[in-house]
Amino acid sequence: MKKIFIALIALMLVSPLKADEGMWLPVLIKERINDMRAKGFKLKAEDVYSVNKACLKDAVVLFGSGCTGELVSNDGLLFTNHHCGYSQIQRHSSVEHDYLKDGFWAMSRDQELPNKGLTVSFLEYMQDVTDDVLKGYSEGMTEKQRDSVIRVNSHALVAEAVKEGKGLRANVEALYYGNQYFLFVFRTFRDVRLVGAPPSSIGKFGGDTDNWMWPRHTGDFSIFRIYADKDNNPADYSEDNVPYHPKKFFKISTKGVKEGDFTFVYGCPGSTKEYVTSDEVEYTGSVSDPRKIALRTQRLDIMKKYMGQSQAVRIQYSSKAASVSNAWKKWQGEEKGIRRMKTVAQKKAYQERFKEWARGTRYEGLVERLESLYARRNPYYLAYEYYNETVRSIELLQIASGVLGVLKNKAAKDAAVEAFFKDYYQPIDEEIFTAMLKAFDSQMPDEFKPEYFKEKLKAYGSVEKWQKDLYSKSMFTDKQKVLSLTKDDTELVKKDPAYELYEAFYNWYFNTLRPVINDVNGQIRLAYRDYMKGQMEFEPQKQFYPDANLTLRIAYGNIKGYSPSDGVYYKPVSTLKGIIEKDNPDIFDYNIPQALRDIYAEGGHEDQPVCFIATNHTTGGNSGSPVINADGNLIGINFDRVWEGTMSDIVYDPSVCRNISLDIRYLLFNIEHIGHASYLFDEMVFAD
Ligand code: ARG
Ligand code: ASP
């Protein structure tokens, strides 16, 4: 009787998925298609995902190792973000040809630029292989035995899946913390060439100032082309390769978008943690995020001070500052969002209900167990995060350890040294050394400081004195000395004070922190396997989606503005007019190319759409993803989220979680007016 009563209560308390939340597996499209169609989508399930016929999934790729891209022509033409192609564009740039600054446009196919190491992967198919993966496993086996069963079975599945060769690769991924296993089979292409990129003043317009923000006016795109051998199979770069003919490519919609329109993002979200307990959220929102934000604020202030004094330093540190700043800004939004949503309290209340329900079941005690695991892990994990954010951010230690790693290979060593010193400005590194070690000293409890650190500090009396001495004695401040090192100089490097410091901290991490973290994390993962399963049983009618893990997902929603704060409402579409309003030659992030000013001055382009926001649930890795309309045509390229909604990796709030996309018509505008490369339109197919 009591059980039934509790079950009824649980039923009543079940939270339905909030509108538009969710990153769904394409293979399960049949479970979503009715909802998608109810929201305006006009295609059928097999148009989205099918293994029997060409469908939209065949026009989507994993670009490099952490972005998404989409095919837009029968000749392998591909769109992704500018920030996804950034390192390729940078690698082709030199003082004479600064493609980052000026943009790059191949005017014919023979001008397209090859990119060593860059790959794109098409998903051939995905398949639930839970039973095969667990074959031979029985209750009562240890976790170690279970892992080895999984390893052996996965290996066999992968070998079978790729036996045809031809660029196939496969992996087995755990979903729902190992309650389910899926096989993903990809075809990977290795000859991917750069076709076009706007100048950074368009592709990165707004820079870190506008990053994670709306209203946004960034032309965040770059264009590549996939090449294949003459049989249309993947091949290493060769002059004989020909453009790849995909099974499917997107038609480009020129119809335009408006509030309320259906939007569908098809891409590869990297990582989320939607089903964790209040302890994990509290650690993230109240400990980890604020501490890391404070440390990065110090580092960014130091970089910015010197970048403001010299153009040369600004160029050296712009990419470094951008990457430090990206997570720094995201964490601020995330921390605020978690607080505003009262996620810790919400999760606590949920856990109480879960505990009540779990009484007498195999899930009893699980929440408490997670609680005690977190209590044990957190101090170690925080020390690890401090190690990462402080000591490991010192560039001199990075080059010292990097050089030792490649000492035996002179060419590799010299290349690493050249690359390092090209972008090294010692005064920044010295100040960061002092600031970060002081922070480590004052903010870490004594039992979480390496002995070496304590001894050195005692001997020197202050971090400042230590810093002065180390930078005057280390050979790693002197490029010529590092270049002259030979393969026999291992001992010399190991005696260097920069290397010594690096090594002391590394050993401390390796011997003191890592074993505990790995052990407890293993237990936490295990507990989550049960907790996840328990949550699914606790809320049987809730539709769960697996946390993101860089596998292909579907997120759908609609174009929609939002209110970031009291009295303010943001419209969902931005235009060229807004770029001109922000334009300011004195502010680096807002200094647009003269060509753009001239075009605007001609008149008639005020309403040129630039970006739009929608309610699709996305995360890092979704950058470059196609944004598709109700007819299945391409309307945009996803590239960011709004700041107020960045806690969506943990908790989704339909009122403020918005993804930001480039309006595809702004890409077309750039091809025509900035790149003067309209010949590219000939291979695209337009729909209205
Ligand atoms: N916030 C976006 C993402 O996480 C864009 C990052 C690149 N842009 C920048 N200004 N740092 O990838
Ligand atoms: N900017 C992110 C990316 O590069 C997308 C996001 O976090 O929303 O994938």
| Spatial distance between the Cα atoms of 121 and 141, rounded to a whole number of angstroms | 37
Determine the residue of 323, 639, 649 to mutate for testing ligand 2's pocket, defined as the one with the most ligand atoms within 8 A of the Cβ atom: 639
Strand positions, DSSP E, 45-98: 60-63, 67-71, 77-80
Say what the pLDDT of residue 96 is: 82
Q: Give the residue extent of every domain in the chain.
A: 2-119+190-272+548-562+572-683, 278-538
- CA-closest candidate to residue 160, choices 147, 173, 169: 169
Say what the pLDDT of residue 16 is: 55
Assign 57 a pLDDT band (cuts: 50, 70, 90).
very high
- The pair phi, psi for residue 125, each rounded to 5°, is -165, 165
CB 352 within 8 A of CB 345: no
84: CB partners within 8 A, 6+ apart: 63, 64, 66, 67, 69, 222, 623, 624
- CA-closest candidate to residue 587, choices 325, 328, 207: 207
What's the predicted TM-score (pTM) here? 0.94
- The pair phi, psi for residue 93, each rounded to 5°, is -90, 145
| Spatial distance between the Cα atoms of 340 and 29, rounded to a whole number of angstroms | 33
Give me the mean pLDDT over the 628-654 stretch.
98
| Spatial distance between the Cα atoms of 20 and 657, rounded to a whole number of angstroms | 10
- Sign for the pseudo-dihedral over CA of 569, 571, 577, 583: positive
**What digits encode the pLDDT tens for the residues 315-374?**
889 889 989 999 999 999 999 999 999 999 999 999 999 999 999 999 999 999 999 999
Classify 636 as helix, strand or coil: strand
Question: Does residue 651 have a pLDDT over 80?
Answer: yes
CB neighbours (10 Å) of residue 361? 13
**What digits encode the pLDDT tens for the residues 510-527?**
999 999 999 999 999 999
Please report, as a single letter, which amino acid is at residue 650: I
In the block, residue with structure tokens 């980890």: 288
- Count how many Cα atoms sit within 13 Å of the Cα of residue 612 in the half-sphere of its side chain: 29
669: CB partners within 8 A, 6+ apart: 605, 608
The number of angstroms, rounded, from the C-alpha of 532 to the middle of its chain's C-alpha atoms is 24
| Spatial distance between the Cα atoms of 326 and 313, rounded to a whole number of angstroms | 19
Say what the pLDDT of residue 316 is: 87
Give residue 177 CA to ligand 1 midpoint distance, Å.
Answer: 28
**What digits encode the pLDDT tens for the residues 378-432?**
999 999 999 999 999 999 999 999 999 999 999 999 999 999 999 999 999 999 9
- Per annotation, catalytic residue among 47, 50, 58, 83: 83
Q: Atom 6 (ligand 1): residue with closest C-alpha?
A: 326
What is the DSSP secondary structure assignment for residue 513, as one 8-state letter?
I
Question: Does residue 10 have a pLDDT over 50?
Answer: no
| Spatial distance between the Cα atoms of 82 and 467, rounded to a whole number of angstroms | 38
Give residue 659 CA to ligand 2 midpoint distance, Å.
Answer: 9
CB 292 within 8 A of CB 331: yes
Active site residue 623: yes
CATH architecture of 2-119+190-272+548-562+572-683: Beta Barrel (2.40)
Assign 97 a pLDDT band (cuts: 50, 70, 90).
confident
**What digits encode the pLDDT tens for the residues 664-683?**
999 999 999 999 999 999 99
**What digits encode the pLDDT tens for the residues 288-312?**
999 999 999 999 999 999 999 998 8
Active site residue 83: yes
